[in-house]
Amino acid sequence: MTAPVASGRVLATLNSDGSRRWIRPKPSYGAHWRQRRAVAYALIALYLGIPHLRLNGMPLMLLDLPRREFTLFGTTFLPTDTLLLMLLGVSILLFIFLLTALFGRVWCGWGCPQTVWMEFVFRPLERLLEGGWAGSRQLDAQGNHFHVGRIIKYALYAVLAAVLANTFIAYFVGTAQLAHWMRQSPYDHPTPFVVMAVTTLLVFLDFTWFREQTCLVACPYGRWQSVLLDKSSLIVAYDPTRGEPRGKPKDATANAHTGDCVDCNACVLTCPTGIDIRDGLQMECIHCTQCADACNTVMTRLDRPTGLVRYTSREILTGQARHIVRPRTIIYPLAFLLFFGAFLYALTHRPTADVTLLGEVGETPFTRNADGTVTDQLRVKIANRSGRPHQYTVTISGDPGVKVIAPELPLTVINGQNATISLFLISSASLFTHGERLITVVVDDGEHLRFERTWRLVGPSEREHAREKEKTS
């Protein structure tokens, strides 16, 4: 039975019968490519290096999900910092919106790890081992999946996938923990081992099989382009006014109206997402500038001006002036400044420790002692975010009627960690009014932190106290 054939346009990565169309782009080593390569290698070094870097004795970046603690640039965000993280998250989102409004999909073409690793590591390796882009195409056409170069390629891809997966996991557990796991048998840490194996497999499948489809169908950022770009945004585009009507160079002599596009297909052959830039702005275009480099080479060879495919905007292509200042380039930066300013203010004004007071654990709110006194339990949880270890004291301010028993004081808490201590507060039963009395709890680190909070002790009411007194007398 033959597969039905699509009548209209299909995804660039599919044939019209729905089978996979493998894209093996022909590289174009132009000026844009050289600049992108420099950026890509710097980003690769950064990606591999960040988990090993430290600032103020803290990891530069550590996203500790189980403990819900995020360390970014030496600053630790605890679960109580939800507002701070929300402000940071919205700021990043607004920055991306602004960047896209001004420079289009510059992130996709220049900075995204998918593009960087695919175009500057995995594809070059493929071309090296399979006899160039044409060699890869030939192997595809022959259905030769056991070519020695292709097998070596898969083996190297597996090693690279393991390196990437381990680096990725280091962002979540830290390099010391990762190294510890690597020295142990998988039986000693089965869950992390499974996570690492699955991540390696996903990375391997992504760069081996899924490839450009990540950008075309899976990435949400790619889908947002229809709303994030406007006619003034910077895009990589073909200039139809200059290029059309297309024709081979020899046609130009016979037909005076032939445009600069010689229909050589170089821009299509080089496109890593398999599209034709001459069809206009498309969601599949990741603005990688490969087509611009390819076309510039052709134009130079023909002694024509370069830039038939270039960075431009839809406004410029239709003969209008480009508008840098427009509603979205005013609203996005203002909103960004507002949220990022609020984030910086909250970050620089947050206390050096988070203190939480918690009541009695158990069925009764207080305990009666044989000598007629009452014991209340108070738990104090301290999260240290000062950047170094601290010793904390907990006292009851201005109330000589309360005796504090706390053998764990002073409490030492290392930076980025939290600890909880129990205090037993003993007071005379006669001091309670309507079954309660207010005290002031003070937590002090001897330097910057002085935390004061009113706390309600629970005890017997006057009537209960009188009844107890009668019983014992």
| Nearest residue to 231 via CA among 307, 309, 317, 289 | 317
Cβ nearer to ligand SF4, comparing 298 with 441: 298
Which residue lies nearer to ligand SF4 by CB, 126 or 212?
212
Handedness of CA 146, 148, 149, 152 (dihedral sign): positive
Residues engaged in binding ligand SF4 (CB under 6 A): 236, 238, 243, 261-267, 270-273, 275, 277-278, 285-291, 294-295, 298, 308-309
Q: Which amino acid is at 160?
A: L
Closest separation in Å from C-beta 316 to ligand SF4: 17
Shortest distance in whole angstroms from residue 104 CB to ligand SF4: 10
How far apart CA 235 and CA 285 sit, in angstroms, is 9
CB of 318 to ligand SF4, least distance (A): 18
**Closer by beta carbon to ligand SF4, 272 or else 459:** 272
Q: Which is nearer to ligand SF4, 11 or 346 (by Cβ)?
A: 11
Which residue stretches of 104-248 are H helix?
Answer: 106, 113-117, 123-130, 132-142, 148-173, 175-183, 190-205, 213, 220-228, 240-243
CB of 308 to ligand SF4, least distance (A): 5
Q: Which is nearer to ligand SF4, 62 or 121 (CB)?
A: 121
Q: How far is the CB of 446 from ligand SF4 (least distance, A)?
A: 60
Phi, psi for 92 (deg, rounded to 5)? -65, -45
What is the nearest approach in angstroms of ligand SF4 to the Cβ of residue 249? Answer: 10
For ligand SF4, the closer CB: 119 or 376: 119
Contacts of 125 (CB under 8 A, 6+ apart): 153, 156, 157
> Cα(189)–Cα(179) distance, rounded to whole angstroms?
12
